[in-house]
Amino acid sequence: MGAVTLPLDAKESEQEELQGLREQLVSVDHRFAPSILLETTDDQIHISGAIRTSSTLYTLNNEKQVEKLKSAKQHNDILQLHGIQVVGSSRQFLREYVFSIFQTKVLSVYRSKEMTVWLNQSKKKQKVKKKTYVRVTDPDNDREIKRVQKVAVRALYATGLDYGMVTCGVGTSKKISIVQVDPSPKLNEDLERLFIKAVSDYRKKLRKSSTPSKNIMLGADPEFIMVTPKGSLIVASKYFPIQGKIGCDAAWLGDNRSHKPIVELRPDPTTDPLRLSVRVYQCLLHAAKKVQHVQCKWLAGALPYPKYPIGGHVHFSGIEPSFQLLRALDNYLALPLVVCEDPRGKDRRPKYGFLGDFRMQEHGGFEYRTPPSWLITPTLTKGVLVLSKIIAGNFEQLMYNPLGDPGIQKAYYDGNKGVLREWIPDLWQDIKRLDDYEAYQNVVDEFFSFIQQGKTWDESLDLRKAWRLPPYHTKKR
Amino acid sequence: MANTDRSVEYRQIMSRAICGKGRKFCQVKHSIHPPDHIHHILGAWLINHNYESSKVGEAVEVRGTYDVNIWYSTKGNTKTDVMTETVHYAEKIPLTYYDRYTREGTVNVSTICTQTPNCVAAKLSPHKDSISIKVEKEFVVELIGETKVTVAVFPHELGDWDDKDKEDFISEMAEDDEDDTFDDLDPDLVFDDLED
């Protein structure tokens, strides 16, 4: 079964629509279509006068990607590039999970029957035994499932697909590996219904106009660390509470889990990215007052101190994290940041800073976790927050997806600035086309010209200098 | 200022509460002396798990036993048999959260074994003089003890508050909180002309 083309409009009643979809999407042997193209008329492309050229919105499971995954080697290479463990030569797991996933939504979870007895299976004669799987009805209450599920969604995203079935294994020491990402899985009746419903919901959402960007709330929790003049890490929790506007990240130092070294700023969210930048500054100022008596340097960036990677997560609410939005954030925000990062920062990836890293939040929104801590300078801070807002409000109109190419992905993970920099002019130009650009022109241009000039930040410098925070506030005003 | 002047009065109440929490996943190796004439290990199964836990300093110690059953073959795979050995263990579970203000002597420990001991690998040494098995288990512990909780009590009847503007009250409190050092740094003014 090849790609299936569907009209964007469904004129029938819901039940007829679902029945129709089943006929088109599920083959006789119960396999789901490997890719779906949603047909649009010109009217639909020109929604509200803007041109939606972003074809990825209308393609589910790009055919090229599906083709690539047919080769086991390419399948594994892609996943490994993104830092995801794949199954080795022996497929021996304690438990296996099968997730049906549509973009960021997990539709169902099946778990293999647990083996409580260890049985010797000599490697020569080993046959792949057919496993029995049981559906898990309350996956949200299971700690292990939550962990494995994140890896499964990440694997699906890494393969460039939009939906599919991901099989994961949990081995000894809780090690998670991906067995397979299948774009065209064989389904039972329940799963057929779930996948069809997901496609129908997606189509409905596309027909509706997108969230106006003024309704998107933006928040952030950028981090920094403090080091002594001799360069050792300071326990931040001595000076700041764990919770609070200026708090500490959960990571701990040494054996005592109450020693928290990473300071985290938690400015109140707002719809205005510039207002948010000011709030970040206020938090920094407040923090500067609190530790003014301590001899130290404040460091931001990606990996200013070995083994303590730090991040600059951006929080969104009022908008759902579709794969297209995450891809837009990767291309238009994470990619430029790698061009100007301190070369030392590349070691943060792929454990952290991998593409499409997001986490759902209790407030109903989500947090985009790929960027490093951009507290380095005010220009970067403003640039990142403003771009986040612009991208979230307009991702349907953005044209480029350089990170769809494995070569560019590799350059991203390796920190190969030369390859990535070639894309900056196009990305910048594309942002300039948007209506929201005008309001933030200065900030966006400053951000991109900083990157275009080939400058990189130095994450061993005290960030308070750039922000003119005490004790550096009186110099050259 | 007299105590009675305060609009909000604070009281300390005694309460039983979760005063500590911890979780530990453990992977251990046991070395077991094999029976004579062992040829091959066919399987391993852990049963009869029993444990007790107690608070030790700022951690919880879990002590327990389980029986290791090893199914093996002898005489060139012509006969099989099962051997059993009881293994004792003690695990220290560090607490990720611990409230030092808990009243000593009132603490109870509640331990849940979230993964019962499970054998994940078994191997016979080349000289057939020892069997090494790998076991995984996981515990979640909670300390429950008496602690003082400070609560705000409203001396007036709640009805009195209804017609007051609550927002004013909150914003007044917020203003009090402001720190007035570095007055010359007004975020709104400074921020715009920050350059790198």
Residues A113 and A40 reside in one and the same domain? yes
**What string of DSSP letters covers chain B?**
--GGG-SSEEEEEEEEEEEEEEEEEEEEEEEEPPPTTEEEEEEEEEEEEEEEEEEETTEEEEEEEEEEEEEEEETTTTEEEEEEEEEEEEEEEEEEEE-TTSPTT--EEEEEEEEEEEEEEEEE-TTSS-EEEEEEEEEEEEEEEEEEEEEEE-SS-GGGGTTS-HHHHHHHHHHHH---SSTT--HHHHHHT---
Question: Which of A116, A174, A278 comes nearest B188 by C-beta?
Answer: A278
Residues B49 and B132 reside in one and the same domain? yes
Residues B84 and B133 reside in one and the same domain? yes
Size of interface A-B (CB pairs under 8 A): 75
Residues B102 and B127 reside in one and the same domain? yes
Q: Are A467 and A284 within 8 A, CB to CB?
A: yes
Residues B158 and B90 reside in one and the same domain? no
Q: What is the number of domains present in chain B?
A: 2
Predicted confidence at residue A46, as pLDDT, reads: 43
Residues B109 and B175 reside in one and the same domain? no
Question: Which of B134, B136, B196 comes nearest A378 by C-beta?
Answer: B196
Residues B71 and B91 reside in one and the same domain? yes
Q: Which of A90, A94, A114, A120 to probe the B interface (max B CBs under 10 A)?
A: A120
Beta-strand runs (E) in A279-332 = 297-299, 312-317
| End-of-domain residue from the set A207, A226, A241 | A207
Does residue A474 belong to any structural domain of this protein?
no
Reference A10, options A209, A2, A162, A18; nearest CA is A18
Residue A10 confidence (pLDDT) above 80: no
Residues A198 and A332 reside in one and the same domain? no
The type of residue at B25 is F
Residues B40 and B95 reside in one and the same domain? yes
Question: What does the alpha-carbon distance between residue A132 and residue A112 come to, in Å, rounded to a whole number?
Answer: 6
| End-of-domain residue from the set B132, B147, B162 | B147
Containing structural domain, residue B52:
15-147
Residues A327 and A456 reside in one and the same domain? yes
Q: What is the number of domains present in chain A?
A: 2
Residues A294 and A426 reside in one and the same domain? yes
With cut-offs at 50, 70 and 90, classify the pLDDT of residue B105. Answer: confident
| End-of-domain residue from the set A162, A187, A207 | A207
As for the ipTM of the complex, it is 0.71
Residues B107 and B41 reside in one and the same domain? yes
Q: What is the mean pLDDT of residues B132-153?
A: 92
Does residue A475 belong to any structural domain of this protein?
no
Q: How many CA atoms lie within 13 A of B109 on its CB side?
A: 24
Reference A160, options A38, A52, A40, A77; nearest CA is A77
Query: pLDDT by residue (tens digit) across A24-83?
Result: 999 999 999 999 998 875 544 444 334 444 567 888 999 999 999 999 999 999 999 999
pTM as predicted:
0.86
Domain with A66 in it: what CATH number?
Answer: 3.30.470.20
Q: Which residues on B lie below 8 Å from A468 (Cβ)?
A: 190, 194
Residues A246 and A198 reside in one and the same domain? no
Q: Is A209 exposed, middle or buried (0-12, 13-18, 19+ CB in 10 A)?
A: exposed
Question: Which of B45, B181, B196 comes nearest A117 by C-beta?
Answer: B45
| End-of-domain residue from the set A207, A226, A254 | A207
Place of tokens 């105590």: B3
Residues B165 and B141 reside in one and the same domain? no
Q: Are A290 and A362 within 8 A, CB to CB?
A: no
Residues A158 and A178 reside in one and the same domain? yes
Predicted confidence at residue A47, as pLDDT, reads: 40
Query: pLDDT by residue (tens digit) across A224-277?
Result: 999 999 999 999 999 999 888 899 988 888 877 778 899 999 999 999 999 999
Residues B79 and B164 reside in one and the same domain? no
Residue A170 confidence (pLDDT) above 50: yes
Q: What is the mean pLDDT of chain A?
A: 89
| End-of-domain residue from the set B129, B147, B165 | B147
Question: What does the alpha-carbon distance between residue A26 and residue A164 come to, in Å, rounded to a whole number?
Answer: 13
Domain with A461 in it: what CATH number?
Answer: 3.30.590.20
With cut-offs at 50, 70 and 90, classify the pLDDT of residue B161. Answer: low
Residues B7 and B51 reside in one and the same domain? no
Q: Are B128 and B171 within 8 A, CB to CB?
A: no
Q: Would you mind telling me the total number of residues written for chain B in this entry? A: 196
Q: Which residues on B lie below 8 Å from A118 (Cβ)?
A: 43-45, 119-122, 133
Containing structural domain, residue A459:
213-467
Residues A155 and A273 reside in one and the same domain? no
Question: Which of A117, A278, A377 comes nearest B196 by C-beta?
Answer: A377
Residues A230 and A167 reside in one and the same domain? no
Residues B180 and B125 reside in one and the same domain? no
3-class SS of residue A106:
strand
Q: Which residues of A have a CB under 8 Å from any CB of B?
A: 94, 116-120, 143, 172-174, 255, 257-258, 277-278, 281-282, 285-286, 288-289, 377-379, 450, 466-468, 470, 473
Does residue A36 belong to any structural domain of this protein?
yes
Does residue A305 belong to any structural domain of this protein?
yes
